[in-house]
């Protein structure tokens, strides 16, 4: 099943118990199996977030932001420290939303994935 979904079993520590290894592989399989569906629900880079809990948190946050209006998104934008007077400040709701989503994904990514970004 791992091969079918292109799920790697690499990176499993020799210090891990068999139960921990099985749990890690099961999580990787779950991500592999549902990655396309989750990605289509909000452009969530599922395979890059590393764990189901990270994906779930990111998806909840994206859903919360999707429900906000432009003024509320501007407040979110300012609250997380993004500059209002950027060289190209976001003007439309979708642009604000896209930038905020990007921040959500960056915060959820493991450091090695963030470095690749």
Taking only the tens place, the pLDDT of each residue in 53-70 is 888 888 889 889 999 998
Q: What is the pLDDT of residue 78?
A: 87
Q: Is residue 112 part of a domain?
A: yes
Specify the number of domains making up the chain: 1
Residue 87 has pLDDT above 60, yes or no: no
Q: What is the pLDDT of residue 65?
A: 93
Q: Is residue 12 part of a domain?
A: no
Q: What is the pLDDT of residue 6?
A: 63
Q: Is residue 81 part of a domain?
A: yes
Domain that holds residue 75: 18-116
pLDDT > 70 in the chain, percent: 78
Q: What is the pLDDT of residue 9?
A: 67
Q: What is the pLDDT of residue 69?
A: 92
**Residues 21, 12 contacting (CB under 8 angstroms):** yes
Give pLDDT tens digits for 17-49: 888 888 877 877 777 777 766 666 657 787 788
Q: Is residue 89 part of a domain?
A: yes
């Amino acid at each position: 099943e791992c091969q079918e979904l292109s799920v790697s079993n690499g990176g499993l520590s020799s210090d891990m118990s068999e139960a921990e290894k099985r749990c890690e592989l099961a999580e990787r399989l779950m991500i592999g199996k549902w990655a396309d569906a989750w990605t289509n629900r909000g452009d969530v880079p599922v395979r890059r977030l590393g764990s189901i809990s990270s994906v779930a948190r990111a998806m909840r946050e994206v859903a919360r932001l999707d429900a906000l209006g432009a003024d509320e998104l501007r407040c979110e934008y300012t609250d997380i420290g993004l500059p209002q007077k950027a060289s190209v400040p976001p003007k439309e709701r979708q642009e604000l939303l896209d930038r905020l989503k990007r921040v959500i994904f960056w915060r959820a990514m493991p450091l090695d994935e963030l470095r690749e970004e």
